[in-house]
Chains A and B, each alone.
Chain A
Amino acid sequence: DIQMTQSPSLLSASVGDRVTLNCKASQNIYKNLAWYQQKLGEAPKFLISNANSLQTGIPSRFSGSGSGTDFTLTISSLQPEDFATYFCQQYYSGDTFGAGTKLELK
């Protein structure tokens, strides 16, 4: 099974900061990676597919990059509504999620 490792597990930042969240696959998954945002008590929200394709309605301050085993989600200028937990998911072979990065207000 492909394992997904996200880092850091907790990230403290301020409104306006540029932040980068990392996701590493245990083997090559090419660009078969998605990102989700989950706020407390809510269902996950689909942000990015194919490592870098922003879903409709997602603000352009969100961007994804990477291929192979190393991926990043970048938020260019944090807004108050962006404080949440972010998960990556590989769908190259089966379907596995990372443990998440919690983005909290510093």
Chain B
Amino acid sequence: EVQLVESGGGLVQPGRSLKISCAVSGFTFKNYDMAWVCQAPKKGLEWVATITFDGSTTYYRDSVKGRFTISRDNAKSILYLQMDSLRSEDTATYYCVRPGYGGYDYWGQGVMVTVSS
């Protein structure tokens, strides 16, 4: 059974940092690109960042470039998102997702990140 389990969310002050994680099981993690998608409260979905299977290439949406860093540990099957210089508009549920053939075929349960003073 495929499982993606996020952790590390919480309340953080504006300008501070937070690192969230996603532990993956049920498929060969090192063979797949991975991504983060977020959803602000009562809002739609937005792609945040993608990392290639080997970690060699990363992609970010413009609003997080220079502030967020996606990374992975293929030995431990864990995906990370380091979020620096957080803003109130970063408040959202962050989902760890696996890009499939046309869409995201597996999703974690999501982790809430709240940026507020």
Question: A residues engaging B (CB < 8 A)?
Answer: 32, 34, 36, 42-46, 48-50, 53, 55, 87, 89, 91, 94-100
Q: By the criterion of a CB under 8 Å from any partner CB, how many residues of chain B are at the interface?
A: 16
A-B contact pairs, 6 of them (CB 8 A): A34-B104, A36-B45, A43-B109, A46-B100, A97-B47, A99-B44
Contact of A43 among B44, B100, B101, B110 (CB under 8 A): B110
A98 contact from B44, B106, B109, Cβ within 8 A: B44
Starting from the known contacts A34-B103, A50-B102, A95-B47, 17 additional A-B residue pairs (CB-CB under 8 Å) come to: A36-B45, A36-B103, A42-B109, A43-B107, A43-B108, A43-B110, A44-B95, A44-B104, A46-B103, A49-B100, A87-B44, A87-B45, A89-B103, A89-B104, A91-B103, A98-B44, A100-B44
Residue pairs across A and B with CB atoms within 8 Å: the count is 50
CB distance from A88 to the nearest CB of B (A): 10
CA gap between A84 and B3 in the complex, in Å: 23
Tell me whether B105 is interfacial, beta carbon within 8 Å: yes
Which residues of B approach A to under 8 Å, CB–CB? 44-47, 95, 100-110
Whether B47 pairs with A32 at a CB distance below 8 angstroms is no
Bound together, the chains give a CA A98 to CA B45 distance in angstroms of 8
B95–A43 touching, CB < 8 Å: yes
Docked-complex contact B47 and A94, CB < 8 angstroms: yes
- Sorted nearest first, the 9 A-B pairs with minimum C-beta distance are A34-B103, A49-B102, A43-B107, A95-B47, A97-B45, A99-B44, A49-B103, A50-B102, A46-B105
In the assembled complex, the CB of A96 is this many whole angstroms from the nearest CB of chain B, namely 7
A50 to B104, CA, bound (A): 12
Q: With a CB–CB cut-off of 8 A, which chain B residues contact A53?
A: 102
* Residues of A with C-beta under 8 A to B110: 43
Expressed in whole angstroms, the Cα–Cα distance for A66 and B29 within the complex equals 33
Bound together, the chains give a CA A48 to CA B104 distance in angstroms of 10
A95 to B62 CA separation, bound complex (whole angstroms): 12
Cβ distance A56 to chain B, nearest Cβ, rounded Å? 9
